[in-house]
């Protein structure tokens, strides 16, 4: 059985605001030059920021001290929040083969696209106002695009396309006005076995994605929907494979002023409903 959670966001609605988690505090960054982003669990971040919807995003690595204790996190790939580049893109290849990681990018007006970003100059800040990324091509390994031109491409995506894992993915429609977020639980016997990347890609296409990418999965996969931010007890959240939300570096959220902008998920009667297959 596969169980997952999905939400669709109307990016044209004036009540909708995209939020991306930011850099680690200066005191934390001072511990190690590799530390870039704040390390925080999805539920804690969403509650603190008053978000209606949040998922994990970027792949990342823990930065540890000599004794193995976690000091912070190093983001893998592009992470931009309100025009501030927290982590620059990884760039592979040279010359005509030069490419950045596939990224989910929002311009200053909130329109979305999925594309490779090899750099963000000052002149480009308004077109890359917020961004999260998957991991791109590395040697013979393909990138993380799940959907291209409305067609599923999960068979060639990263990571472990044919294996079942918890998954987090995102997609956008053709004109960039609709965002689709998907989290699939896994590694939990009797609850959900996880999904392959072709399966995740097919779900995005079924929901209208023209382009989509795979984000960090496994124990990092996190979904949080809160219809009434600030009130306890009515949240919709996934069941992470670790048993609790893992602190991660790189999160994507939606703040909804006036409770508008999110449309129904696969459960039918409210956003982020549970999908069973």
- Tally of domains within the chain: 1
Task: Tell me whether residue 269 is in a domain.
Answer: no
Q: Are 208 and 179 in contact (CB under 8 A)?
A: no
Residue that has been written with the tokens 């939300």 in this structure: 245
Residue 176 lies in a domain: yes
Count of alpha carbons within 13 Å of 156, Cβ hemisphere only? 12
Residue 148 lies in a domain: yes
Residue 263: is its pLDDT beyond 60? no
Q: Please write the tens of the pLDDT for every residue from 56-66.
A: 999 999 999 99
The beta strand positions in 35-137, using DSSP E, are: 53-56, 59-64, 70-76, 79-81, 84-87, 91-92, 99-100, 102-106, 112-116, 130-133
Q: pLDDT tens digits, residue range 148-197?
A: 999 999 998 888 899 999 999 999 999 999 999 999 999 999 999 999 99
**CA separation (Å) from 189 to 2, 144, 186, 193?**
11, 27, 8, 7
In a domain, 28, yes or no: yes
pLDDT digits (tens, 9 = 90+) for 73-127: 999 999 999 999 999 998 877 777 777 889 999 999 999 999 988 888 888 899 9
Partners of 211 in beta bridges:
172
Domain assignment of residue 275, yes or no: no
106 touches 72 (CB < 8 A): no
The reply to whether 250 falls in a domain is yes
Residue 121 confidence (pLDDT): 87
State the DSSP code for 30.
Answer: T
267 part of a folded domain: no
Neighbour count for residue 97 (Cβ, 10 Å): 8
Contact call for residues 3 and 202 (beta carbons, < 8 A): no
Residue 157 maps to a domain: yes
Domain range for 8: 3-262
């Amino acid at each position: 059985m596969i169980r997952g959670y999905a939400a669709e966001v109307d990016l044209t609605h004036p009540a909708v605001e995209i939020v991306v988690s930011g850099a680690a505090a200066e005191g934390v960054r001072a511990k190690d030059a590799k530390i870039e982003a704040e390390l925080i669990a999805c539920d804690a971040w969403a509650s603190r920021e008053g978000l209606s919807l949040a998922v994990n995003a970027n792949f990342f690595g823990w930065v540890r001290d000599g004794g193995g204790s976690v000091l912070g996190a190093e983001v893998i790939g592009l992470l931009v929040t309100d025009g501030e580049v927290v982590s620059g893109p990884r760039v592979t290849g040279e010359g005509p083969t030069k490419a950045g990681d596939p990224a989910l990018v929002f311009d200053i007006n909130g329109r979305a696209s999925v594309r490779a970003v090899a750099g963000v100059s000052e002149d480009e800040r308004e077109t890359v106002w917020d961004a999260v990324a998957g991991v791109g091509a590395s040697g013979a390994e393909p990138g993380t695009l799940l959907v291209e031109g409305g067609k599923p491409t999960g068979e060639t995506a990263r990571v472990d396309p044919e294996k079942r894992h918890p998954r987090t993915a995102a997609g956008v429609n053709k004109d960039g006005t609709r965002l689709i977020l998907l989290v699939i639980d896994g590694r939990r016997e009797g609850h959900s076995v996880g999904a392959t990347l072709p399966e995740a890609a097919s779900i995005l296409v079924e929901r209208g994605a023209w382009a989509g990418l795979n984000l960090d999965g496994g124990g990092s996969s996190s979904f949080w929907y809160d219809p009434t931010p600030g009130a306890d007890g009515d949240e919709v959240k996934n069941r992470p494979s670790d048993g609790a939300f893992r602190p991660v570096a790189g999160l994507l959220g939606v703040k909804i002023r006036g409770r508008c902008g999110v449309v129904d998920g696969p459960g039918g009667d409210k956003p982020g409903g549970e999908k069973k297959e």
